[in-house]
Chain A
């Protein structure tokens, strides 16, 4: 059983209030080594059988159509999970 990983991030020019809140939390806890934080999403799509090029193409399409909103987000990765379990 293979898995396809899709990663989505808010576009750099779009404000990320969640990231801002996390950044504030880090500072309060004394983690002072970090600046801006941005929060994205990771999806794991289970594949019946092999993760073929066709399956990856389908995952890329799904990433653009449903998993991300191109107005505010970028799909930064669509790849086969390395730790096949």
Chain B
């Protein structure tokens, strides 16, 4: 008989003193993976509920992937007006690090924290693959532990991941360094200019379609590559917050 190993993520959840809220909407799927990624980065995940009106004193917020409110109306449209989002928008505008992954990215666009919108994949199919990304901006709250120009491989899974915006908005994003990630090798969803993730002007709000929280522990992420290329998101936020004090 082998003893059941203690949850390795519990041990890591120690020292930083940083707490990161993970919002669960009805239909959210990846909240537990996001919380686990936070724990592995040495911070405390705090579960937040869509109907909450406060952020319970957290230092950062993650809007995880899934199908909030069943993707009714448009992906992220109903969640964008959920009670918790009033606090998230206010905190984001005051500089709190906020990360939106997949459906979370759609919610950030629908709540106008980020420009543009996500539409159905151009090839009409749901896509699920290990995706290479180039880190185009290693200067945000969520990417400072990466190198500019570094290639990372993390899972991607979406049906409506095509990033679109007007040419003026796209030009502005490019000229101000606000394209944070670009698809490399293959554009999986028809996103304009191969854009996989963007940030706001201040660099504290980041949204992307691929899933870093699924690539934080060896053996559980992509089999090719290191499998842990997503760790940098969470360690970056912890480091940013610890540095701030």
Interface string of B98-135 (1 = CB under 8 A from A): 00000000000110000111011111100000000000
State whether the Cβ of B74 lies closer than 8 Å to any Cβ in chain A: yes
Partner of B117, one of A17, A18, A66, A72: A72
Most chain B beta-carbon contacts within 10 A, residue among A14, A17, A20, A21: A17
Q: Are A17 and B81 in contact (CB under 8 A)?
A: no
Chain A residues with a Cβ closer than 8 Å to the other chain, count: 12
Interface string of B144-168 (1 = CB under 8 A from A): 0000000000000000001011100
Considering the complex, which residues of chain A in the window 65-79 have a beta carbon less than 8 Å from any beta carbon of chain B? 66-67, 69, 71-72
State whether the Cβ of B5 lies closer than 8 Å to any Cβ in chain A: no
Given contacts A15-B162, A66-B77, A66-B81, contact A71 B117 (CB under 8 A): yes
Considering the complex, which residues of chain A in the window 42-84 have a beta carbon less than 8 Å from any beta carbon of chain B? 66-67, 69, 71-72
Q: Are B164 and A14 in contact (CB under 8 A)?
A: yes
Q: Are A71 and B165 in contact (CB under 8 A)?
A: yes
CB distance from B166 to the nearest CB of A (A): 8
> Which partner residue on chain A sits nearest B78 by CB separation?
A66
> Which partner residue on chain A sits nearest B166 by CB separation?
A71
Q: Are B117 and A69 in contact (CB under 8 A)?
A: yes
State whether the Cβ of B73 lies closer than 8 Å to any Cβ in chain A: yes
Complex: A67 Cα to B115 Cα, angstroms: 18
Q: Are A17 and B77 in contact (CB under 8 A)?
A: no
Complex: A71 Cα to B115 Cα, angstroms: 9
Most chain B beta-carbon contacts within 10 A, residue among A20, A67, A71: A71
CB distance from A36 to the nearest CB of B (A): 15
Considering the complex, which residues of chain A in the window 1-34 have a beta carbon less than 8 Å from any beta carbon of chain B? 10, 14-15, 17-18, 20-21
Q: Are A20 and B124 in contact (CB under 8 A)?
A: yes
Given contacts A66-B73, A66-B81, A69-B74, contact A21 B116 (CB under 8 A): no
Q: Are A15 and B110 in contact (CB under 8 A)?
A: no
Complex: A85 Cα to B165 Cα, angstroms: 41
CB distance from A22 to the nearest CB of B (A): 11
> Which partner residue on chain A sits nearest B125 by CB separation?
A17
State whether the Cβ of B190 lies closer than 8 Å to any Cβ in chain A: yes
Chain A residues positioned under 8 Å from B115 (CB to CB) = 71
Most chain B beta-carbon contacts within 10 A, residue among A20, A66, A67: A66
Known: A17-B122, A21-B124, A72-B117. 12 other contacts (CB 8 A): A14-B164, A18-B120, A20-B124, A67-B73, A69-B74, A69-B77, A69-B117, A71-B109, A71-B116, A71-B117, A71-B164, A71-B165
B-side residues, CB < 8 A to A, are 73-74, 77, 81, 109-110, 115-117, 119-124, 162, 164-166, 190
Can you list 9 A-B contacts (CB < 8 A)? A14-B164, A15-B190, A17-B119, A18-B120, A67-B73, A69-B110, A71-B116, A71-B164, A71-B166
